[in-house]
């Protein structure tokens, strides 16, 4: 199983894994990148229930409080606070001791080479793999400094050691816009994701009554230079991801649009998990039907 990079969208990986388990599939190996390394590492360590319970109970304010902001030009988030919080939920361990073979990647930004983690501290590997450039400061490990593995290999299918005799499942959460799906209103138990207190609804109605909403101002159609650069990088990543998937004999592909959620919108965990579950159902139905 291969889990891509993609920030908060990668929480959809949890839903895909749960759907595979519910159908009796046994995951024999996991390769992850960035958030894919985080989710894959938690599952390989047998700690998915603890991780899911923690991440799904974080609201917007909780997520913000876990961001240790800094004025450094190397990244505006140190990245230590959130991992220290996670360590209180799930203890660190050695990758080589995990019951399921696990690997993840990062990039040594000085040499420009991909580095593969197959042993050593699980959290050190996850921290290195998820060091999003300009967002999180590079991770220091063994006298090297690493940035997000997604820079060179966002869908690390190449890390899987044996996919010839297995069903190869790839989850990619940086897909083009046409993969976007409407936000689910309820989870698998029928519980709503959005619960608005009655007093707030009443307040909103009164505000509209006494202060009618003004006509919306149209957004400028021209893009800034930063927007153009960002969009260009997204297009390159889209094409690169497609080429990676085409290169290998992938049996099941679950793709989620980049616009489905923002990189740091981890407060939408439950929603993204459900989206991953629903898309996995569709993909696995096609596999099992022979289509």
Report how far residue 37's alpha carbon sits from residue 245's, in angstroms, rounded to the nearest whole number.
18
- Please pick, among 4, 5, 129, 148, the residue that the annotation labels catalytic: 148
Between the alpha carbon of residue 89 and those of residues 50, 83, 144, 171, the distances in Å are 7, 10, 28, 25
* Residue reference for tokens 């004999």: 249
Residues 34, 103, 129, 131: which is the catalytic one? Answer: 34
Kindly calculate the radius of gyration of the chain based on its CA atoms and give it in whole angstroms.
20
Q: Judge residue 219's burial from the number of C-beta atoms within 10 Å of its C-beta, 0-12 exposed, 13-18 middle, 19 or more buried.
A: exposed
CA-wise closest residue to 23 among 290, 253, 282: 282
- The answer to whether residue 111 is catalytic is no
148 classed as catalytic? yes
User: Which active-site residues does the annotation give?
Assistant: 34, 148
């Amino acid at each position: 199983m291969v889990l891509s990079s993609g920030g908060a969208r990668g929480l959809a990986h949890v839903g895909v894994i749960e759907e595979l388990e519910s159908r009796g599939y046994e995951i024999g190996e996991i390769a992850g990148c960035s958030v894919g390394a985080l989710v894959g590492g938690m599952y390989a360590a047998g700690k998915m229930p603890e991780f899911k319970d923690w991440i799904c109970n974080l609201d917007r304010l909780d997520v913000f409080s876990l961001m240790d902001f800094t004025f450094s030009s190397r990244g505006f988030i140190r990245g230590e606070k959130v991992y220290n919080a996670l360590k209180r939920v799930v203890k660190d361990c050695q990758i080589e001791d995990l019951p399921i073979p696990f690997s993840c990647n990062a990039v040594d930004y000085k040499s420009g080479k991909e580095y593969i983690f197959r042993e050593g501290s699980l959290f050190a590997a996850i921290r290195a793999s998820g060091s999003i450039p300009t967002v999180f400061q590079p991770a220091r490990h063994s006298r090297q400094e690493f940035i997000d593995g997604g820079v060179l290999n966002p869908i690390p299918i190449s890390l899987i050691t044996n996919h010839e005799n297995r069903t190869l499942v790839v989850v990619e959460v940086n897909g083009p816009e046409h993969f976007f799906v409407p936000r689910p209103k309820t989870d698998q138990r029928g519980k709503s994701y959005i619960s608005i207190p009655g007093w707030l609804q009443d307040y909103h109605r009164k505000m509209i009554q006494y202060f009618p909403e003004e006509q919306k101002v149209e957004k400028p159609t021209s893009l800034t230079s930063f927007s153009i650069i960002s969009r260009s990088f997204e297009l390159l990543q889209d094409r690169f991801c497609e080429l990676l998937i085409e290169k290998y004999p992938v049996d099941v592909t679950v793709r989620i649009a980049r616009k489905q959620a923002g990189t740091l919108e981890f407060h939408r965990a439950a929603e993204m998990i459900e989206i991953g579950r629903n898309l996995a159902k569709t993909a696995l139905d096609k596999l099992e039907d022979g289509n």
